[in-house]
Structure formats: structure tokens, C-alpha cells
Structure 1
Amino acid sequence: MARPLLLLLAAALLPAGPAAATAAGFRDCVAGLGDRALAAGVDGELVARVLPSLSPLERVLALDRSQPEFVQTFPAYLEARVTDARVERGRELLERHGAFLETLLDRYGIPPRYLVAFWGLETNYGGYLGKVPTLDSLATLACDERRSEFFAGEFVNALQLVEREQLPLERLVGSWAGAVGHTQFMPSSYLRYAVDGDGDGRIDLWRSEHDALASGANFLHSLGWEPGLRWGRQVALPGGFAYEQAGLGKARSLRAWAAAGVTRADGESLPALELEAALLLPAGHRGPAFLVYDNFRVVMRWNASQSYALAVGLLADRLAGAPPLRLPPGLAKPLRKTQIVDAQEALNALGLDAGTADGIIGSRTRAALRAFQLEQGLPADGYPDPATLTALERRALP
């Protein structure tokens, strides 16, 4: 199908009045998406059927640009996601799908509790798969300048998915960002990693729990999951511990951590192994401490959030019978985003590279905080606690 015809189809649906210019821009962008789909080999009839039905979703753009007032702390994040109800439901599903999950363990090396933990965190075990029309969402984001190239590619992937699986267009609904099904795969991941788990010759991540679980196992295997290795463990730190040793980029052997006085959470000795582990303090030196292994990094390739990866591991542990994580009181109080922005600006002004002052506590901000804390004689945990923020505020005064 030639571009003029695509533009003709798009223009036929343009509104009249003040919104026409914006709508015209969207329809012109949509025509470009059609060209891209045709160049990728998508059937012209499908392109012609889909393009005129697309609508921009202002709510999607609002969510993409949303800047929450508060930064959720790790304890609050965990309390909202690793709940007793989710643990109980997960154990029921482990039992219901036990035989099938064992076949996935044999084939992909992924223990059942991890697959169920991902399922629980992504969609509450299929309780909420999302209601946003995927093609509208992807087209909206593809026609927005912020991440247009990525979402244009995902739009084409979604059309290829419709073709490959012969999906009814009304089935294509999910999150506002275009993730779909029980495991919330983006269309590119669906195309590349989703597999037929129930043996019916099709892959349906919305309606087939076995397809979703098998696809999750294949995805984790492809990301490099190491069979026989757990995600990590909670540990206890000795008095006077040098907190600047914490950080995902500062891995040491378990033998070395044990020599530094780190023990298991129950006080027992760590295994005397050369296994590499990094120490994380997601709530600062007053909160829980974790040693994490290579499989933790695999989880972060699914979702790049450390809090998410910790929640997956801790939910998997709970599903296997571990007790709830005990947290000291007072750790769940959220931080204002403006506090983090001010801290980043102050750190940058002091010559400590905290990155862009965006209110997001990433690795550069944590490294800058540690450097400042060391300079001030504070526990160098890279966490913006009240003492650190107060010290930064004082240094920032003229």
C-alpha cells in the first residue's frame, strides 16, 4: 500500500475545529507508522484496517510524564507488593500448577517459586491484565517525541504479533505503556521469547496461564539465569561496618564478606565460597541488608529496578516458606521528590557527580551521596536520610 493512500485513510477521519492541527499531526505520524509496518512485511490489508481506527490517548501521555510528589521508600514498596494475601494465593497456584512448573524447571532451569513470584508482581496472578488498547497506546507514544523510536518499533512488533498469532484486535489490551498478558511482555519480548506452553499450537499470554509461565521461564533462561543459584539473601552486618562497601558494582566473594564480619540474617556463618555477591542497603544503614548474586542481575534485566528485583526474590522466598521480612519502625516514610532534586543539585554544586537532578535515586546519585557522607563523617550508605539531607542543606547555604 502506498503512502498517499495511507494519508488518505488518515485524513478522512480528521476532526474539524481547534483540535484539527494536533489530530493532523497524529494522523501524519500514524501514516508514517504504516509505512514502517509495510516495510517490515506486515500485510497491507491489516495496516489498512488498523490505521483509521487509531486514536491518541491523552491519559497515556499524562502517565508517561507523571512526576509523583513523593519517592516511595523500599519498605513501603515491599509492604504494598509482598503481602500475606499475595503469598497465600501464590502458594495455591504453586500447588495447582506444580506438575507443569516442574517440567519448566527441567527444561529451562527456573525454579517454580520465581516464575510465580514474577506472575504475582506483574499482574497479581492475572487479576489485572490492563485495559488500555495496546495499538492506540503504542501509536500515542510513538507519535510523542520523548521515546518515539522505541515505541514505533513496538507498534510494528504488535502488528506482527497480530499476524503471527492471528489475534483479534480487541484482544490487544494491556498496560498504558503497551505491556500485555499475565507476564506483561512488550510486543518485542512476546515475539522473541513467548512460547506455546499448553501445546495448542498458539501463544496466548492473555488466556493461557501455561503459555505465560512457559514464556516467563524462556525469557529468564534467555537472560542468563543460572540454575541452582538463588537470587541472594538477607544478611546481618557487624558493628562499625564500613557502609561504603555497599553497592551493586562492588561485588566480592562470600568468603571475603564473611571475613569482613557479615553473617546470615540468623547469625550463622556465610558459606565459605568464592561466589561473587554485592551488598545492597535499600533503606540505608538502619534498614535490612542483602547480599545479591548474579541471578539478581538477571531479574533486573526483566525490570531495572532494584526494589522490584528484591521484591521478586523476597516473594519467591515467602512462597517457599520463609518468614516475612522484619523491618525497623519508621523506615516507610516517603521522601519528597523535591528533596531529592535539591540534594542532587547540591551534590553537583559541590563537584560530586549526582547526574541529572531528576528526583530519581540512581547509581550516580548514590555514589555522590556516599562520597559526601564519607566527607562529613556520616554512615556512607548512599541513602538520603534526614542527617545527610540536613548536612547537604547546610553546605548549600551561601
Structure 2
Amino acid sequence: MPMSRCLVAVLAVCAFVAPWTMAHAETHPGEAALVREVAADTGKDPAKLTALLDGAQKQQSILDAISRPAESKPWKDYRPIFVTPERIQDGIAFYRAHRALIDATAKKYDVAPQYLIAILGVETRYGHITGKYKVLDALVTLAFYYPPRAKFFRKELKTLLELPDSKLAGPLDTLTGSYAGAQGWGQFMPSSIKAYAVDADHDGHIDLHDSLPDILASVANYFHQHGWKPGGEVAAQAQAQPDASVLKYRAKPPRRTLEQYEALGYAPLQRMKPDTAANLLTLQSEHGPQHWFTFQNFYVITRYNRSPLYAMAVRQIADAIAHGVDDPAAVEAAP
């Protein structure tokens, strides 16, 4: 091509590209790269993806909230927030109202029904507090403006943008949830919706806000897929000898046996098989250190939320619900 014709062609391309680039300058840092990735992976329209992200707002309140999580508190301060007579009483009432569905779901996925209820109780007070933040605002804020965990939240934002309509409770720009971008009664992040959410009512749509069958089955499937052991213990109190070794909690599948712990100065307060694998968790209660053996099912709960305080709150609420569902007087929190 002659040089003059080549120059004309280049100028023509620039004339087309430059206005597009100027008109679509990034609203959020890193937005354009994310749009390119999602469009390449899914074939979705880049202009529509850009419009969605342009409409999301950075929220300072989200940045403030994530800097002070409840899980940073000691157990003596964390427990009263979640393990309350009101939450247990509400859980018992919820179980009685939906017992057939809850028991059927628990049986299908081989999990304990009281733990499905306890998760919903800790997460959202049985659907009453699901969060009022726009999910796009939350994930955009944390993906683009929160460096400590930007990698994690960018991945969640990408997953959200890639989810098919059948796995969304509504249009992307209308979804609401927690300050971290979790949705529904069970507070599922986009990656959990993608991997574990279930269309249990078979309407061709997963709704974790308004379909109780979908909500319960999704939590149950999460537990099942992470290795819940049917009939297995979750946690048991331990007694420490005065000369017991100081042991740090291991956020890993339990490997050390109770027999090995006894050699280190810790013994269960109830009769258990010596070869049972466990971790040791020490909590700071109002009356001093409190020791617990935690088992595989406890570890599964920490896959839902990594905090052992969260898992212990779920365990205590679940036990109280199981004891109280057939006993109207049993509404007090477990010790």
C-alpha cells in the first residue's frame, strides 16, 4: 500500500478509536481489564459490562465495615452477639414451621438439620437481615479500592459478572446483600453460588432470597460437598491439666488423635474413642480459657466462614435448637 494511503487508513482508525476511548475512560481503576476478561471468557457485550460497572459506586461505609469484623473480637464478646435466647427461640420456631422441608433437605444431603437452621440464624436471623448494600457496589468497592483483599474480591466480582441469569435472583444492578457482597439467607458469595447453589424447587432459577427450598438445599449442598460426616460430632469440651502444653488452633482438617492430646495434657469431658481425630481450640470466656476439641464437621463449618468463633456459635445455636424443638422451655443458650 502506498505510504499516503497507509497514513489515511491509520488516521481513519484513530478517528474511530479515540472517541470511544475518551468516552469510556475508566470509572474505577482496573475496570477495563476486568471487562476484557469477562467478555473474552463469556462472550458478553463489553459495552453492557462497562455500563454495569460504571453504575456501581465506591462506598466508604463498606471499607469502614470490613475493617472491623465481629470475628476480631474475643469469644466472650463475640458469643453474646450471636448465641442469644432470641436467636435460638426464633430458630426453634423456624424449624417447627418448616420441619418437613428442612428434614427432607437434610436427609437428601446427609447433614444435620439443626445446622442448616443455625447457619441461617447466624447469617441473617432466618432471612430477616440479608443486607441492604448493592452487591455491585460492595464488590466493586472491595475489588478496586481495598488493596488488602483486592485479589479475592476481584475474583468474586468477575464470577458475579459471569454468572448466568438462571443463577441470579434478579438483574445484576438490583441485587442486594452484605457489605462483602454476600447474598440471600445463607449469604453466598458469587463463587459459592456458582459452585454450590441448587435449584431445589425446579423452576429453572436459583433464588437464595425468596425460595426456601433453594436456600436450604444450597446450604446443605455446601456442607455435603465440603465433607460433612453424617452423625459425626462437631465439638466437645476438653479439660486441661495444669501442666498441659500450650497449643495453637490449626485451621486444617483434624489429624491428631484424642489419645495424642491426652499425652499433651488435654482430655475430653465425655467418653469418646481415643483414635478420634481432632483439633484443639482455646476460647477466652468470661471465666477464663475454655478448651474444646473440634472435629471434621467443625472444620466443614469453617469452610463456610473461616472463623472458629463463627463455627462455635453455629454449633451452640444448633445444639440448643435440637434440644429445644420438642421442648418449649428449652430456649436458653448452650454453655
TM-score, L = length of structure 1: 0.69
Aligned-partner SS, 1:291: strand
CA separation of 1:63 and 1:80: change in aligned 2, threshold 3 A:
closer
Q: Aligned partners of 1:169 and 1:189: how far apart in 2?
A: 16
Aligned-partner SS, 2:293: strand
Which amino acid counterpart does residue 287 of structure 1 have in structure 2? P
Contact 1:87 1:318 in 2 (8 A): yes
Superposed displacement of residue 68, structure 1: 8.0
User: Which moves more between the two structures, 177-186 or 139-148?
Assistant: 139-148
Q: Aligned partners of 1:6 and 1:300: how far apart in 2?
A: 47
Contact 1:131 1:175 in 2 (8 A): yes
* 2:24 counterpart residue number: 10
Q: Aligned partners of 1:147 and 1:288: how far apart in 2?
A: 32
The alignment yields a C-alpha RMSD, in angstroms, of 3.0
Q: Aligned partners of 2:221 and 2:68: how far apart in 1?
A: 34
* 1:386 counterpart residue number: none
User: Which moves more between the two structures, 175-184 or 42-51?
Assistant: 42-51
Superposed displacement of residue 273, structure 1: 4.0
* 1:169 counterpart residue number: 172
Which amino acid counterpart does residue 148 of structure 1 have in structure 2? A
Is 1:262 the counterpart of 2:267 in the alignment?
yes
Q: For 1:203-218, what aligned pairs fall within 5 Å after superposition? A: 203-218=206-221
Contact 1:31 1:51 in 2 (8 A): no
Contact 2:244 2:266 in 1 (8 A): no
Aligned-partner SS, 2:280: strand
Q: For 1:120-131, what aligned pairs fall within 5 Å after superposition? A: 120-131=121-132
* 2:57 counterpart residue number: 55
Aligned-partner SS, 2:118: helix
Contact 1:123 1:183 in 2 (8 A): yes
Is 1:186 the counterpart of 2:189 in the alignment?
yes
Is 1:295 the counterpart of 2:329 in the alignment?
no
Q: Aligned partners of 1:70 and 1:176: how far apart in 2?
A: 15
Superposed displacement of residue 197, structure 1: 2.0
Which amino acid counterpart does residue 55 of structure 2 have in structure 1? S
Superposed displacement of residue 161, structure 1: 2.5
Superposed displacement of residue 303, structure 1: 1.1
* 2:204 counterpart residue number: 201
Q: Aligned partners of 1:217 and 1:243: how far apart in 2?
A: 37
Which amino acid counterpart does residue 242 of structure 1 have in structure 2? A
Which amino acid counterpart does residue 177 of structure 2 have in structure 1? G
Superposed displacement of residue 30, structure 1: 2.2
Which amino acid counterpart does residue 305 of structure 1 have in structure 2? S
User: Which moves more between the two structures, 99-108 or 281-290?
Assistant: 281-290
The Cα offsets for residues 98-129 of structure 1, whole Å up to 9 and x where unpaired, read as: 21222222221111101111111111111111
Contact 1:235 1:263 in 2 (8 A): yes
CA separation of 1:102 and 1:4: change in aligned 2, threshold 3 A:
farther
Q: Aligned partners of 1:199 and 1:69: how far apart in 2?
A: 36
Contact 1:3 1:35 in 2 (8 A): no
CA separation of 1:234 and 1:48: change in aligned 2, threshold 3 A:
same
Is 1:156 the counterpart of 2:170 in the alignment?
no
Q: Aligned partners of 1:245 and 1:94: how far apart in 2?
A: 38
The Cα offsets for residues 138-192 of structure 1, whole Å up to 9 and x where unpaired, read as: 1222222433332222222112235344622354111111111111111111111
* 1:224 counterpart residue number: 227
The Cα offsets for residues 182-222 of structure 1, whole Å up to 9 and x where unpaired, read as: 11111111111100122222101111122111101111111
User: Which moves more between the two structures, 81-90 or 281-290?
Assistant: 281-290
Superposed displacement of residue 257, structure 1: 5.1
Superposed displacement of residue 255, structure 1: 4.6
Alignment length, in residue pairs?
306
Q: Aligned partners of 2:312 and 2:158: how far apart in 1?
A: 33
TM-score, L = length of structure 2: 0.80
* 2:5 counterpart residue number: none
Is 1:235 the counterpart of 2:238 in the alignment?
yes
Aligned-partner SS, 1:276: coil
Superposed displacement of residue 137, structure 1: 1.9
Which amino acid counterpart does residue 125 of structure 2 have in structure 1? N
Percent identity between the two aligned chains: 32
Which amino acid counterpart does residue 226 of structure 2 have in structure 1? L
The answer for unaligned runs of 5 or more in structure 2 is 1-15, 325-331
Is 1:32 the counterpart of 2:33 in the alignment?
yes
Aligned-partner SS, 1:40: helix
Q: Aligned partners of 1:114 and 1:55: how far apart in 2?
A: 36
* 1:343 counterpart residue number: none
Q: Aligned partners of 1:84 and 1:292: how far apart in 2?
A: 24
Contact 1:118 1:312 in 2 (8 A): yes
Which amino acid counterpart does residue 95 of structure 2 have in structure 1? L
Q: Aligned partners of 1:70 and 1:103: how far apart in 2?
A: 32
* 1:371 counterpart residue number: none
Aligned-partner SS, 1:244: coil
Higher RCO, Cα 8 Å, sep 6+: 2
The Cα offsets for residues 231-258 of structure 1, whole Å up to 9 and x where unpaired, read as: 11223445x2514256437854335556
Contact 2:167 2:193 in 1 (8 A): no
* 1:321 counterpart residue number: 323
CA separation of 1:247 and 1:71: change in aligned 2, threshold 3 A:
closer
Contact 2:87 2:125 in 1 (8 A): yes
Q: Aligned partners of 1:69 and 1:154: how far apart in 2?
A: 22
